[in-house]
Amino acid sequence: MEIEGTWQLLAWRRIDPDGGISFPLGADAHGLLTYAPDGYMSVVLTAAGRPSIPGGDPLGGDTQNRAEAYSTCLAYAGTWERQGDTVVHRIEDSLFPNWSGAVEPRLASDRDGQLVLSTEPKPGGAINEIAWMRPAKRAEA
């Protein structure tokens, strides 16, 4: 499956070792993932119905309002490369500071034309499975 280009989020599921399934940003989360031909990538995932932050400054205002809004979003950017059935994300910048500088491999599979990226199973740990589809073509403005 060719993965270069833009993808729209279908679902982010977290599968617990006991088989339980949860949706970290809700079953109706939104997101875009882009794999550029120059080897760069970016992704943003957000919960639906996020609260707005009063005022026009994304870094200003009440810290509690910002914390509530930003805790419903995950975003990072960096480079990517395909290694067989794995896509390796080398994260340069991330909303979650612990990931900046990290290398995050994702198992990639084609499920009926959907790109499914999964974290590698770890003993006793949950698996994150994120399904993406190609977005509908946008009309010319």
Q: Which CATH number goes with the domain that contains 65?
A: 2.40.128.280
Q: What is the pTM of this model?
A: 0.90
Give the Cα separation of 134 and 114 in Å (integer).
Answer: 8
The reply to whether 38 falls in a domain is yes
Look at residue 21 in the predicted model and tell me its pLDDT. 96
> How many domains does the chain fold into?
1
Tokens of 64: 């509690």
The reply to whether 141 falls in a domain is no
Look at residue 115 in the predicted model and tell me its pLDDT. 98
Look at residue 139 in the predicted model and tell me its pLDDT. 62
The reply to whether 140 falls in a domain is no
The reply to whether 91 falls in a domain is yes
Separation of first and last alpha carbons in the chain: 30
Range of the domain at 79: 5-133
Taking the chain (141 residues) in runs of 10, the rounded mean pLDDT of each run is 96 94 96 98 96 83 86 96 97 96 97 95 88 84 57
The reply to whether 138 falls in a domain is no
Give the Cα separation of 111 and 1 in Å (integer).
Answer: 10
Give the Cα separation of 71 and 95 in Å (integer).
Answer: 10
The reply to whether 139 falls in a domain is no
